Amino acid sequence: MAYQLYRNTTLGNSLQESLDELIQTQQITPQLALQVLLQFDKAINTALANRVCNRVNFKGSLNTYRFCDNVWTFVLNDVEFREVTDLVKVDKVKIVACDGKNTGNAAE
């Protein structure tokens, strides 16, 4: 069971919205939509693990942190995201992080 962490991303949300539309128009069953989402979880986890190798650095000041159920949640302020090519500055960023070593507990 892969992390369901990525369902609340731009990609994941678009997928969920599309599936909801299909359910509304009776083209698929909710059970099928759930299966799609589970497959999405597996796919996105393996894709990020194996097919992505960009490196981004970020630096900012820590506002709050939390660690519960093996999930870290940070809120940073005045953060600079730095990639080799470019720089992005933001006032506030929320980071939700799960353990990288493969455990398998589905964590939102």
Interaction of residue 65 with other proteins, rule CB under 8 A: yes
Nearer to other proteins, 42 or 66 (CB): 66
Close Cβ partners of 95 (under 8 Å, ≥ 6 residues apart): 72, 73, 74, 75, 76
The footprint of other proteins on this chain (CB under 8 A) covers a number of residues equal to 6
Choose the binding region for other proteins from 13-21, 39-47, 62-70, 84-92 (rule: CB under 8 A).
62-70
Least distance in angstroms from the C-beta of 70 to other proteins: 7
Among 34, 35, 67, 80, binds other proteins (CB under 8 A): 67
Interaction of residue 66 with other proteins, rule CB under 8 A: yes
Interaction of residue 70 with other proteins, rule CB under 8 A: yes
In our burial notation (b when 16+ CB lie closer than 10 A, e otherwise), range 84-101 reads eeeeeeeeeeeeeebeee
Q: State the residues that interact with other proteins by CB under 8 A.
A: 64-68, 70
